[in-house]
Amino acid sequence: MRRHLREREEDRDLTRVICELATASRYIINSIRTGELGVAGTSNLYGESQLKLDVLADRIIRKRMTHTGVIASIASEEDGEIQIIDPDGKYSLAFDPLDGSSLVDVNLAVGTIVGIYKGADVLSPGREMIGALYVLYGPRCTLVYSTGNGTHEFAMNALMEYTLVQENIQIAEQGNIYAPGGTRNQYTPGVEAFVSHLEERGSKLRYSGGFVPDINQVLIKGHGVFLYPHLKNLPRGKLRLLYELNPMAFLVEQAGGAASNGHQRILDLVPEGIEHREPVFIGSKADVAKVEELIRALES
Ligand code: AFP
């Protein structure tokens, strides 16, 4: 991966950040595969206090990021507040160290999601990001990143090194898989009409309950749409703008897809705070445009 980044003449400090995140993922995948599934506060057989996997993942990433010496601030889903590391640092991160962590004990895939900003301000619109990546801890461990020049996939080999799988992933204009989050009886008229439209078109439902594997499926299959919409009982939806939506919107747009909150581009939204939640419709451009049209027609 380091060679790939150098060949593309990426900034050396940005290369360090991405490679240190890749290193962090080795420790995280090892913890997932070998660690106890206990909850924080319990102790393992050695009497050590048990860390929840997401707390452990958060600590691993923080340690590696501090080690780079180029980080200004960190906003982690685990911490709920922005931590200043070095006000003069070159980059800042917003990340979810282990998204979907509740799926580990049923052996479903989970992931780490990271958005990378120049300077110290992670509360700027996502379009200001200079990079994003996720690591998917599934049957294979894969890493997908973009620094604004396409979206690229790597896979971890037996030596725990990341080797290139594909460059410049492309998402087709329209798809035939969909991942519908939330509960259907809470869907609003525009969203209900959209899902009915997809089903009538023969789209197949593919939903794991993990944002990273569900987005990865749209990216790597090269078509489809993920939605976690505004719901009657959850008008802002569930997913967090900083830690989940902005990084994935960056990666999907770089692959020729689109990401909307049903009315406007996710990357244009001004964060109201680090816990800001937004509805999301993300994936094939025509599918995202279709749901925006139905929401306009049936909900305005
Ligand atoms: P957890 O991190 O609490 O497991 O939630 C995972 C998640 O934030 C995201 O990964 C999924 O897309 C979404 O929640 C699934 O939510 P539902 O369980 O309501 O479908």
CATH number at residue 276: 3.40.190.80
- Predicted local confidence at residue 35, as pLDDT: 72
Does any ligand 1 atom lie closer than 6 A to the CB of residue 213? no
150 with 187, same domain: the answer is: no
Task: Tell me, yes or no, whether 223 lies in a domain.
Answer: yes
Does any ligand 1 atom lie closer than 6 A to the CB of residue 101? yes
In which band, very low, low, confident or very high, does the pLDDT at 57 lie, cut at 50, 70 and 90? very high
183 with 162, same domain: the answer is: no
Ligand 1 atom at minimum distance from 210 CA: 10
Q: Cα separation of 190 and 35, whole Å? A: 44
183 with 158, same domain: the answer is: no
Mean pLDDT score across all residues of the chain: 94
161 with 181, same domain: the answer is: no
In which band, very low, low, confident or very high, does the pLDDT at 39 lie, cut at 50, 70 and 90? low
- Predicted local confidence at residue 52, as pLDDT: 85
Last residue of a domain, one of 166, 194, 219: 166
In which band, very low, low, confident or very high, does the pLDDT at 49 lie, cut at 50, 70 and 90? low
Task: Tell me, yes or no, whether 172 lies in a domain.
Answer: no
Average pLDDT over residues 175-181: 98
- Write out pLDDT tens, residues 251-293: 999 999 999 999 999 999 999 999 999 999 999 999 999 999 9
Is the pLDDT assigned to residue 250 strictly greater than 90? Answer: yes
Is the pLDDT assigned to residue 206 strictly greater than 80? Answer: yes
Residue nearest to atom 19 of ligand 1 (CA): 182
In which band, very low, low, confident or very high, does the pLDDT at 215 lie, cut at 50, 70 and 90? very high
Ligand 1 site-directed mutation target among 53, 239, 241, most atoms within 8 Å of CB: 239
Secondary structure class of 92 (helix, strand, coil) = strand
Task: Tell me, yes or no, whether 130 lies in a domain.
Answer: yes
143 with 182, same domain: the answer is: no
Domain that holds residue 189: 177-299
Q: Are 257 and 172 in contact (CB under 8 A)?
A: no
Residue 21 Cα to ligand 1 midpoint, Å, equals: 22
Task: Tell me, yes or no, whether 203 lies in a domain.
Answer: yes
200 with 69, same domain: the answer is: no
Question: Which of 42-46, 49-53, 114-118 is the least confident region?
Answer: 42-46
Is the pLDDT assigned to residue 43 strictly greater than 70? Answer: no
Does any ligand 1 atom lie closer than 6 A to the CB of residue 209? yes
48 with 123, same domain: the answer is: yes
In which band, very low, low, confident or very high, does the pLDDT at 34 lie, cut at 50, 70 and 90? confident
Task: Tell me, yes or no, whether 128 lies in a domain.
Answer: yes
CATH number of the domain bearing residue 61: 3.30.540.10
- Of 262, 247, 252, which Cα lies nearest the Cα of 172? 252
Secondary structure class of 168 (helix, strand, coil) = coil
Confidence (pTM): 0.95
Last residue of a domain, one of 166, 199, 234: 166
21 with 126, same domain: the answer is: yes
28 with 158, same domain: the answer is: yes
| Tally of domains within the chain | 2
198 with 129, same domain: the answer is: no
Average pLDDT over residues 107-111: 96
19 with 117, same domain: the answer is: yes
| β-bridge pairing 152-156 and 141-146 | antiparallel
Residues contacting 210, CB < 8 A, separation 6+:
99, 100, 103, 108, 109, 110, 111
50 with 153, same domain: the answer is: yes
Task: Tell me, yes or no, whether 171 lies in a domain.
Answer: no
Secondary structure class of 106 (helix, strand, coil) = helix
Does any ligand 1 atom lie closer than 6 A to the CB of residue 102? yes
